[in-house]
Amino acid sequence: MTLRIFRHDVVDSTSERAFAALAEGSARNGDVHVADGQSAGRGRLGRTWVSAPGEGLYASLVLLPEPPAPHPAALTMGAGLAVLESVRALGVRDARLKWPNDVVVGGAKLAGILVEARGLDPARPHAVVGIGINVRQREFPAELTAERAVTSLHLVGVETSIERMLETLLAHLAPRMEQACRSGDAVAADYGRAIALVGRDVLVAHGRSETQGRLRALSLRGLEIQTEAGDHVRCALEHVQALEAID
């Protein structure tokens, strides 16, 4: 994958800049849009991603893979693995994945991922992988910390520049996205090992239901849960909102 980096000052969001390039036909596979700040950064479920200028890494990668379209979950898992590997490479050894698209340290959110495709045509697949990593923040808005625990590389004792964070991320992200487009099953297997929940008792929120039991497998075909009653339940990945250990 050949990467082209487009740098912006403060924009609405790097993903919107990526989609604008796709709409006008100028985008190429491997384009990376990076901004100093965002006025309308987004997270999962429509949440706002706080994007103060000069404080974090805000980047979006354009994917224009050859058909068939890669599994959306494989892209999210691959991006999550890339971010996890990147922050660990910079010294955050206790970082871990939280389903489906967060990297956390001690329960506090360090980074988030949002993979989007608009008007997806299987004959002309595309996706934009948006990533936000908190790098230099010393504090966060009270309205954000009231909602959830958040942290930054600085707050966990890792001093680095946003540019180094970008270089480290891209070194891991490009091969993971190539793997996701080529072999989604391999990415899912790596993700399952990294999240370290297979074989443990878990609580799964999916659709309007919750299922509790032993996680027997995690693959692109879904989560396979064995309940205490001995029943086997398969949860489609696109329906899983939360996956947490209970042991």
**Arithmetic mean of pLDDT, 6-31:** 95
At 141, is the pLDDT very low, low, confident or very high (cuts 50, 70, 90)? confident
pLDDT digits (tens, 9 = 90+) for 45-96: 456 656 788 999 999 999 999 988 899 999 999 999 999 999 999 999 999 9
Instruction: Give bridge partners of residue 245 from the DSSP assignment.
Output: 202
Cα separation, 129 vs 77, in Å, equals 11
Phi, psi at 188, each rounded to 5° = -60, -40
Closest CA to 34 of 50, 55, 11: 11
**CATH of the structural domain 198-245, one choice from 2.40.70.10, 2.30.30.520, 3.20.20.150, 2.40.50.100:** 2.30.30.520
pTM of the model: 0.93
Query: Measured between alpha carbons, how far is residue 141 from residues 45, 86, 113, 137, 183 in Å?
Result: 20, 26, 20, 10, 40
Q: Which CATH superfamily is domain 4-194 in?
A: Bira Bifunctional Protein; Domain 2 (3.30.930.10)
Cα separation, 187 vs 76, in Å, equals 10
55 close to 155: Cβ distance less than 8 angstroms: no
Percentage of residues in the chain having pLDDT higher than 70: 95
* pLDDT score of 245: 94
Domain ranges of the chain: 4-194, 198-245
16 close to 8: Cβ distance less than 8 angstroms: no
pLDDT digits (tens, 9 = 90+) for 168-214: 999 999 999 999 999 999 999 999 999 999 999 999 999 889 999 99
120: pLDDT strictly greater than 60 = yes
Q: Please provide the average confidence, as pLDDT, over all residues in the chain.
A: 92
**Arithmetic mean of pLDDT, 143-165:** 94
**Arithmetic mean of pLDDT, 164-171:** 98
Cα separation, 211 vs 233, in Å, equals 8
